[in-house]
Chain A
Amino acid sequence: MRDVLLIDDFKPISQLVGPEHYIQRARFPVVDAHNHLPVWHERAQGIEWDDIVAGMDQVNVRTIVNLSGGTGERLQQCLDTLDRAYPGRFATFCNVEWEGVAQPGWAERAVEQLARDVEAGAKGLKVFKRLGLRVRDTDGKLVMPDDKRLAPIWDKAGELGVPVLIHVADPVAFFRPLDRFNERWDELHEVPDWHFYGPEFPAFETLIECLYNLIGHHPGTHFITAHVGCYPENLGFVSQMMDEHPNMYTDISARIAELGRAPYSAREWFIKYQDRILFGTDVSPTPEWYRIYFRFLETRDEYFNYSPGQIPGQGRWRIYGVYLPDEVLEKVYHGNAERLIR
């Protein structure tokens, strides 16, 4: 017996004995609407795309949406390597280049670039959380998502008929003090860079308000909010936003830890908004990860790990499946994504 135990060493094994289901293949073909395959990045060196596709086939993932297309040349590289090399298996989104944001002529250039990227084959526009947290204008001020100077971009996406997948803020706990009361202590301790508590960052609530202002300002544009409306800790709020903004959609990527610890609410939410929720993972596209997502969506399993690691990466708790009915699963797995991402 030890007298003290460091949190990093504590890896409790559950003594529960109950039904366990391991879903080898998704019940319906899947579109993973939130993933990152930056083929232009050094991280992608050595990846065999044939192997990725073989892994997708193994678990019934039809298409992966690659949100890290970049723009211009890089985008071309992604389109050549993925979208064109494996027709129907990948859909790449382009990104906005924030360099020189809000300088005269910047918005016009960004709009033109977007048009060119979509023309080249980008299926949508992805906006990273840097907007609101790190992107600064020439005065050094943070540019918030609802900044009017960016409006032409969102309108252009609407006009071109491509969705904007946007991630604003991060888990609520990342905006709270990193002390012993923080429920994401392990993760923030691992990656201190993700801690946005302090005067240099806007409050979580401010960012969320800006996100929904943005969505409200551009009713002609389809917005796919990343990570359950960027506020999975509060499904009541997300539901209210979905009611208010018919142009709002959301993916569930990287948030089954949150959804699965409120499984009663999550199940009702999935059923109520079944036409507006997209499957997504935002994790390495391996069979192992996909199967955890399938277990969450398809089974009634209880108290299981939401990630392959021994210490769960997003908080020390376990999750519950939401056993969605077939007609809901079908929409979430692929129907909604197919409607939005063409």
Chain B
Amino acid sequence: MRDVLLIEDLLPRSQLVVLQHHIERAKIPAIDGHVHLGQWGGRWAVEDVEALIERMDRCNIKAMVNLDGGTGDQLKRNVERYREPYPNRFAVLMTPDWATCARPDWEEELPRQLEKAIAAGADGMKIFKSLGLRVRDERGDLLRVDDERLDPLWARAGELGVPVLFHIADPVAFFTPLDRFNERWDELHQHPNWSFYHPQYPTFMDLMEQQANLLAQHPEVIFQSAHVASYAENLQWVGELLDAHPNLYVDISERIAELGRQPYTAREWFIKYQDRIVFGTDRPPLGPWYEIYFRFLETFDEYFPHGPEQPPRQGRWNIYGVGLPDEVLEKIYHKNAEKIYPRLA
């Protein structure tokens, strides 16, 4: 017996004996609406595209939306590697080059980048969370998500009829002090630069407000807000956001830890907003995550880990399945994504 125990050493094993289902294949063909397949530090996220296709077939993933198109050469390489050889299996999103914002003419330049990228084969635009947290304008000021100087960019997406997938903010706990009361202590301790609790950053609720403003300013654009609109901790709020903005879809990527610890509320939310929710993982597609996502969506299993890591990567708790009915699963797994990315239908 030990007298003291460090948090990182505590890996409690559940003594519960409950039904366990292993779902290797999605019950209905799925589109992973949030994946990173690009080059990170020079290496492709997936080295072997054939192996990826095999994995997709095995898991019943009919298509993926790859968010790593960027611009220029990067986009070209992503289009050539995924979209061209497998046109119905991959969509690729571009991301504007935010370094452009240091130039005086950036307001006109960003829409041009989007237009060029769409012509070069991109299916839409991905906005990373750097917007709102780190991207600065030519004067060095933090650029707000709802800054009107970005209007031409969003407007161009609307004119081109392409979707905008954005990620704003991060889990609420990343914006609160990193102390012994922080429920994401392990993760923030692992990645201290994910803590946005600092005067240089906007508050979490400020970012949520910016998100809502952006949606209201551009009802003509189809938006996919990543990670349950970044506020999976408050499904009531997300529900109201969906009610207020018919141009909004949300993906569930990286948030089954949150959804699965409030399974009663989550199940009702899935059913109520079944036409607006998109399956997605944001996880390495060759890893063990699909089975966990399928289990969460398809079963009523209880108290199971939300990821393969020990201790759990996103918080020390276990989750519950929401056992969605087939007609809801069908929309979340692929029909809604097909509305956003019609080429994948």
Instruction: Tell me, in angstroms, the Cα distance from A236 to B302 when the chains sit together.
Output: 13
**B190-222 to A contact mask, C-beta < 8 Å, 1/0:** 001001000000000000000000000000000
Q: B1-24: which residues lie under 8 A (CB-CB) from chain A? A: 1-19
Q: Range of interface residues on chain A?
A: 35 or more
Instruction: Tell me, in angstroms, the Cα distance from A92 to B251 when the chains sit together.
Output: 57
Cross-chain contact B262 with A12 (CB below 8 angstroms): no
Q: Specify which of A12, A13, A261, A303 is in contact with B316 (CB 8 Å cutoff).
A: A12
CB distance from B147 to the nearest CB of A (A): 27
Q: Cβ of A172: which chain B residues have Cβ within 8 Å of it?
A: 15
Cross-chain contact B185 with A12 (CB below 8 angstroms): yes
Interface membership of B40, Cβ < 8 A: no
Q: Specify which of B15, B171, B180, B236 is in contact with A10 (CB 8 Å cutoff).
A: B180
Cross-chain contact A261 with B172 (CB below 8 angstroms): no
Interface membership of B178, Cβ < 8 A: yes
**B244-263 to A contact mask, C-beta < 8 Å, 1/0:** 00000000000000100111
With most chain A CB atoms within 10 A of its CB, the pick from B179, B315, B318 is B179
CB distance from B249 to the nearest CB of A (A): 22
CB distance from B171 to the nearest CB of A (A): 7
Q: Specify which of A176, A185, A192, A235 is in contact with B10 (CB 8 Å cutoff).
A: A185
Cross-chain contact A13 with B181 (CB below 8 angstroms): yes
Instruction: Tell me, in angstroms, the Cα distance from A238 to B265 when the chains sit together.
Output: 29
Cross-chain contact A11 with B15 (CB below 8 angstroms): no
Q: Which residue of B lies closest to A13 (CB)?
A: B181
Cross-chain contact B262 with A264 (CB below 8 angstroms): no
Q: Cβ of B176: which chain A residues have Cβ within 8 Å of it?
A: 15
**A1-38 to B contact mask, C-beta < 8 Å, 1/0:** 11111111111111111110000000000000000000
Q: Which residue of B lies closest to A183 (CB)?
A: B12
Assess A178 versus B262: contact at CB under 8 Å? Given A10-B7, A233-B16: no
Interface membership of B98, Cβ < 8 A: no
Cross-chain contact A16 with B180 (CB below 8 angstroms): no
Instruction: Tell me, in angstroms, the Cα distance from A265 to B317 when the chains sit together.
Output: 18
Cross-chain contact A18 with B185 (CB below 8 angstroms): no
Assess A7 versus B262: contact at CB under 8 Å? Given A265-B302, A317-B318: no
Cross-chain contact B16 with A303 (CB below 8 angstroms): no
Cross-chain contact B183 with A12 (CB below 8 angstroms): yes
Interface membership of A251, Cβ < 8 A: no
Q: B274-324: which residues lie under 8 A (CB-CB) from chain A? A: 300, 302-303, 315-318, 320
Assess A173 versus B183: contact at CB under 8 Å? Given A4-B6, A17-B237, A317-B317: no
Interface membership of A171, Cβ < 8 A: yes
Q: A281-337: which residues lie under 8 A (CB-CB) from chain B? A: 300, 302-303, 315-318, 320
Assess A10 versus B185: contact at CB under 8 Å? Given A17-B233, A17-B237: yes
Cross-chain contact B1 with A300 (CB below 8 angstroms): no
Cross-chain contact A236 with B17 (CB below 8 angstroms): yes
CB distance from A189 to the nearest CB of B (A): 8
Q: Specify which of A173, A183, A265 is in contact with B18 (CB 8 Å cutoff).
A: A265
With most chain B CB atoms within 10 A of its CB, the pick from A8, A180, A316 is A180
Assess A178 versus B1: contact at CB under 8 Å? Given A15-B172, A17-B233: yes
Cross-chain contact A5 with B185 (CB below 8 angstroms): yes
CB distance from A167 to the nearest CB of B (A): 18
Q: Which residue of B lies closest to A172 (CB)?
A: B15
Interface membership of B60, Cβ < 8 A: no
Instruction: Tell me, in angstroms, the Cα distance from A202 to B14 when the chains sit together.
Output: 21
Q: Cβ of A320: which chain B residues have Cβ within 8 Å of it?
A: 263-264, 320
Instruction: Tell me, in angstroms, the Cα distance from A165 to B237 when the chains sit together.
Output: 48
Assess A234 versus B7: contact at CB under 8 Å? Given A9-B180, A16-B262, A178-B1: no
Cross-chain contact A302 with B180 (CB below 8 angstroms): no
**A177-203 to B contact mask, C-beta < 8 Å, 1/0:** 011111101000100100000000000
CB distance from A10 to the nearest CB of B (A): 5
Interface membership of B88, Cβ < 8 A: no
Cross-chain contact B236 with A18 (CB below 8 angstroms): yes
Cross-chain contact A18 with B265 (CB below 8 angstroms): yes
Interface membership of B28, Cβ < 8 A: no
Interface membership of B235, Cβ < 8 A: yes
Q: Specify which of B7, B14, B265 is in contact with A6 (CB 8 Å cutoff).
A: B7
Cross-chain contact A181 with B261 (CB below 8 angstroms): no
Q: Which residue of A lies closest to B321 (CB)?
A: A264
Assess A316 versus B316: contact at CB under 8 Å? Given A12-B182, A16-B233, A261-B303: yes
Q: Cβ of B171: which chain A residues have Cβ within 8 Å of it?
A: 15
CB distance from A2 to the nearest CB of B (A): 8
Instruction: Tell me, in angstroms, the Cα distance from A305 to B11 when the chains sit together.
Output: 20
Interface membership of B130, Cβ < 8 A: no
Instruction: Tell me, in angstroms, the Cα distance from A20 to B105 when the chains sit together.
Output: 51
Interface membership of B234, Cβ < 8 A: yes
Q: Cβ of A11: which chain B residues have Cβ within 8 Å of it?
A: 180-181
Q: Which residue of A lies closest to B268 (CB)?
A: A300
Cross-chain contact A6 with B6 (CB below 8 angstroms): yes
Interface membership of A229, Cβ < 8 A: no
Interface membership of B173, Cβ < 8 A: yes
Q: Specify which of A4, A6, A233, A302 is in contact with B263 (CB 8 Å cutoff).
A: A302
Q: Which residue of B lies closest to A3 (CB)?
A: B189
Instruction: Tell me, in angstroms, the Cα distance from A181 to B13 when the chains sit together.
Output: 5
CB distance from B19 to the nearest CB of A (A): 8
Q: B311-340: which residues lie under 8 A (CB-CB) from chain A? A: 315-318, 320
Q: Cβ of B233: which chain A residues have Cβ within 8 Å of it?
A: 15-17
Cross-chain contact B261 with A16 (CB below 8 angstroms): yes
CB distance from B184 to the nearest CB of A (A): 8
Q: 7 other contacts beyond A1-B192, A18-B262, with CB at 8 A cut-off?
A: A13-B182, A13-B183, A15-B173, A18-B235, A179-B2, A263-B320, A264-B320
Closest 10 CB pairs between A and B? Answer: A183-B12, A12-B183, A17-B234, A234-B17, A172-B15, A15-B172, A5-B7, A7-B5, A302-B262, A15-B233
- 23 A-B Cβ contacts within 8 A? A1-B178, A1-B192, A3-B189, A5-B180, A5-B185, A6-B6, A7-B4, A8-B4, A11-B180, A11-B181, A14-B183, A17-B233, A18-B262, A18-B265, A176-B15, A180-B10, A183-B12, A183-B13, A235-B18, A236-B17, A264-B300, A315-B12, A318-B317
Residues of B near any A CB (own CB < 8 A): 1-19, 171-173, 176, 178-183, 185, 189, 192, 195, 233-237, 258, 261-265, 300, 302-303, 315-318, 320
